[in-house]
Amino acid sequence: MERAVQRRFVGLTAVVAALGLTATLSGCGSDAGDGDVTLKLVAADYGSDAESSSEKYWADVAGKFEKENPGIHVDVSVYSWKDVDREVAEMVKAGNAPDIAQIGAYADYAAAGKLYTADEMIAIRTGSNFLPSLTAAGEVDGNLYGLPFVASTRLLFYNKGLFAKAGLGAPETWDDIESDAAALERKGVTYPFALPLGQEESQAETLMWMLSGGGNYTDEVGNYDIDSAANIATFQWLKDHLVGKGLTGPVAPGKLDRAKAFEAFTEGEVGMLNGHPTLMQEAEKKGVQVGMVPLPGIDGPTKGSMGVADWMMGFKQNGHRTEIGKFLDFAYDDENVLSFADRYDLLPVTSSASAAMEADSKHESLHEFLSALPNSQLYPFGKTSWAQASETIKEKIGSAVAPGGSPEAVLTGIAAEARQADTAK
């Protein structure tokens, strides 16, 4: 297990600043007694190395918050995306839940009665400022439990320099991907098409390909449809036309994590892969000219992109409802929201911060991602079984395209586990 990047942010003595955002809370009173309170926050790391680690962002936010709120200290632990959801699950199971978690899923904790609703924690102005599509995705039974933290949409990235050397244009269909990858392979490109189906975030790669093949994780009424004919056909195509033809590079997709694939792209070793805004920033820093197009589909570009949102939630266990609300109101101030979005080239989740980004020419490279967010397809976050289903996908989806693997058998097995978990919830 990867060791946590952990830091204790010590409270600083300071006068209370007159910030309206901490003065008005929708909740009344506190579940905590008098005296100092320490909030335990567990967050995911969006950085690729120590220099870009999210620890620096949370150090800044926690330090400023403590100055504004003497008596409330913030103890932050930052984990890699490979570990953070599991770490929080183990903490909760052991009866040592954090006060605040910034992770990938919330619904199972909400269904178990472990989370505060938004109305119990944050100011009305904070909750009403979230983008409506993301608010809907954060609800269980009509109550908002998952506060959207940051969002992104996904596009197909390609290395313009490598494409130019191979005489290629931007791909629009699956056939284009295959023929372009074959041309790049003949030119000696290490990863003609990087296909990260390892455990780090393969549930995202999986959904992107399902959407491009006309499928999804769920059907029209919200039931799991992982083993649909469209999804099986999609992974059979990947197995036969990319992986089986040696066009996905030297690391088997089931062993290739997203971070490794992204790093290889920034080093100029990847012809194509599915990417998000942060990768665009990192690649351009390394001098890679990035082309971006909607993910090619069977007959043309996929209509509607995949959207991703990560979530913030407040746990009831320690009874720090009011203190949690104060911190969340502070964290969702436009200055903080835009600071995080700027740091990682991601999309803000509030209407006011989104409007500010849209109006700012320095964010022009993100405008295409931003405009795609309202109509993007997200994970089935509101399903209480999603966290467990997501873990199953991470563990097993890579075997669907492995030599000797059966996409139908693997997807059928994943679907059976997801439906069983859904029924158990």
Tokens of 110: 């909400």
Say whether 408 sits in a helix, a strand or coil.
Answer: helix
Note the helical H segments in 47-145: 55-68, 84-93, 107-111, 118-121, 124-127, 132-137
Positions in the chain whose pLDDT score sits under 70: 1-35, 425
pLDDT tens, residue by residue, 316-335: 999 999 999 999 999 999 99
pLDDT tens, residue by residue, 102-146: 998 899 899 899 999 999 999 999 999 999 889 988 998 899 999
Note the helical H segments in 153-293: 160-165, 174-186, 202-212, 229-237, 258-266, 277-285
Q: Is the fold of 5-152+308-375 the same as that of 155-304+385-424?
A: yes
Domain parsing of the chain, residue ranges: 5-152+308-375, 155-304+385-424
Q: Which pLDDT value is given to residue 19?
A: 34
Cα angle, residue 82 at apex, residues 77 and 86 outer, rounded to 5°: 70
Residue 282 Ramachandran class (φ > 0 left, ψ -120 to 50 alpha, else beta): alpha
**What's domain 155-304+385-424's architecture?**
3-Layer(aba) Sandwich (3.40)
Q: Which pLDDT value is given to residue 179?
A: 98
Domain covering 5-152+308-375, topology: D-Maltodextrin-Binding Protein; domain 2 (3.40.190)
Q: Report the run of H or E that residue 325 belongs to, with start and end.
A: helix 321-331
Task: Determine the residue type at 417.
Answer: E
Q: Which pLDDT value is given to residue 425?
A: 60
Q: Which pLDDT value is given to residue 160?
A: 98
Contacts with 227 (C-beta within 8 Å, 6 or more apart), sequence order: 408, 411, 412, 414, 415
Q: Report the run of H or E that residue 309 belongs to, with start and end.
A: strand 307-314
